[in-house]
Structure formats: C-alpha cells, structure tokens
Amino acid sequence: MIKNDLFLKALRGETVERPPVWMMRQAGRYLPDFMKLKEKYDFFTRCRTPELATEITVMPIHQVGTDAAILFSDILVVPQAMGVTIEMKPDVGPWLPTPIRSEKAVNQVVVPNVYEELGYVYEAIKMTKEALNDEVPLIGFAGSPWTILCYLIQGQGSKNFDKAKAFCYTEPKAAHLLLQKITDTTIAYLKGKVEAGVDALQVFDSWGGMLSPVDYQEFSWKYIQQIIDALKDEVPVIAFGKGCWFALDEMSKSGAAALGVDWTCSPQNARYLSGGKITLQGNFDPSRLLSPPKVIKKMVHEMIDAFGKDKYIANLGHGILPNIPVENAQAFVDAVKEYKA
C-alpha cells in the first residue's frame, strides 16, 4: 500500500483534504544535485543507467516533498528504440543528423521489441519503486505520437515545426504511417511500464497546440485516444496537451483519468470546457516561480480556490525552468500542502 496516495485519490475523483502536488520536470535541472550528475554524465547516459535514473527520480521527493514521483527519462527514447539516431546537443536540445522527410525513410522506421530496446527503462522503474519504498506513487510517461513526429521530421526543436506540418499536409499517407508506428511502439512501451510497476501514466502532447482544431483531430488526438484505450483499464492515464484548450471537451470523454491544462487557459474555462466532471491538473505558469515565495504562495492558493480542491492536481502548466531557485519550487509545494479550503 502506498502511504501517501493523495495523487491516486485525486485521479479517482475522491474527496481529499487538499489537492496533491507534483511538478512536470521536477526531477531535473533546477536541483543542484541534478546539476552535479549532469557534469559527470551526458543526458542519454543518465536516461539509460537505471541507478542514475532512480537517483534523479527520487531527488525531488526528498528535497521538495512532492506527492508523486515521475520517472526520469525522455520522450525521445521511444524513437531511438525505433532505430532513429537522436543526439542531445548543448544549447540546441534534441538534434537528428538525418531527419525523416520521405516515405522511404518512414518505411525504414521499425516497431521494435520494447523489452529488448527499452529494458533499461523497466529496470529503472523497478529500482525506483524499491527506493521509494511505497512513500508516494510513481508516474511513467511518453510523448504523444504527434509530438514525437515533430522532432523526427523537423530534426530539432522549433517555434512552429513548419517542416513537420508541411510533411503531414503534403505526404499525409506517410505521415499517418509514421504516427501509427509511433503509436504502436508507445502502447507496447507503456504496457511494459505498467508491468514494471508504475502507478499512473501521462501522455505529453507538448506540440499539440501547433495544430488547428481540425488538424489536431487528424494528426494528434486520434493517436492519443488509441493509447488511452489500450491502457486506461490498467492504470489511470493523464492526457496533457499544451495549448490544446480547444480539445478539452473531446479529451474529457476519452477515458483519461485526468487532463493537464497549461497557464493560458483559466481554471474556470478549463472546468467549463471539460464538462466539470473530470480531474484537472495544472496550471501555474512555470515563469511565475521566479516571483518571491510569498507571492507564489498567495497565487497558488488562488489557483486552488479557482479549480476547487477536489478532482484537482496542483502542478505547473509545463515543465519547471532550469533557472528556478529551489526555495521557490519548495514554496510552490508548501503552498499546496498548507492549503485549507
């Protein structure tokens, strides 16, 4: 039995004394101990070494006291397992020496045996579960097929992913084939995470908001729906689409246990657009963690008041930034823990 099961209660829609709190990218770059490991080991070494992934995952539980842990990994381990070369370049981020830009290149992408190619992730989950000792739940995650496709075609991060969109609109058959391959791999990968012991899953659609509502249905949501359908009966699934407020109504009918909301959508609108019955997660602007701790606490209490304490998970509206002082992250977590309705 997990000692602090507040997060799981919120996912089930149960009444709670206060909302649970965790932060996207909480196992990372704002923590001094993480930066020490970063100096010693490159990014994908940290992802592929179960001992390091475990140490990083558990760090924020001990250092800032969140109510859930999220496994340290990256969404791009999935396309790497599919035979695509991806590097993490300093000051650039993800970088592909050979982006996928033809039907022939799509045909060469494989749907792998996830247990062979991603066994290090499952090992890290087992090790992390042991290290957490049932203190808090562990979240596993994957990127949405559309978000993964954006990197595979663009070749790196982008403000508009114009090449990825152009490929989808000029080569829709090849684009859908690639999206389906990513989806099939992701479903198998996440099922393996559940077998290894994660308590919940989150699908990150970081670039969903780049698409129009019509294109979102075609190139993103229908693939996320396949993932939810395949996993919702095994563990709770959180769907997070950054900039995808326009899809909250459909998302709320998907079978997902909760929906992530970014900071551009007010709590009131998020409740209205999602029908008011599903658990919501979010949506503090990550940059607002640069405010003084006193201001952070006041704003967090206002955010909880606006969402309501039940069917709600306090979180940021996207990942925590690297320049956030630890005491400010701590103030965010403490503010939720001190909340009284």
To the question of whether residue 257 is assigned a binding role by annotation, the answer is no
Label residue 175 exposed, middle or buried (CB < 10 Å: 0-12, 13-18, 19+).
buried
To the question of whether residue 101 is assigned a binding role by annotation, the answer is no
Task: Supply 316's token pair.
Answer: 């940021």
Which pLDDT score is estimated for 223? 98
To the question of whether residue 74 is assigned a binding role by annotation, the answer is yes
Structural domains of the chain sorted by starting position, each given as residue range(s) with its CATH number in brackets: 6-337 (3.20.20.210)
Which pLDDT score is estimated for 19? 98
To the question of whether residue 73 is assigned a binding role by annotation, the answer is no
Over the chain (341 residues), the average pLDDT of each successive run of 10 is 97 97 96 95 96 98 97 98 94 94 97 98 98 98 98 96 98 98 98 98 97 98 98 98 98 98 98 98 98 98 98 98 97 97 76
Which pLDDT score is estimated for 240? 98
Q: Is 0.95 surpassed by the pTM of this model?
A: yes
Which pLDDT score is estimated for 90? 86
Which pLDDT score is estimated for 110? 98
To the question of whether residue 72 is assigned a binding role by annotation, the answer is no
To the question of whether residue 219 is assigned a binding role by annotation, the answer is no
The residue written with tokens 């326009």 in the block is 246
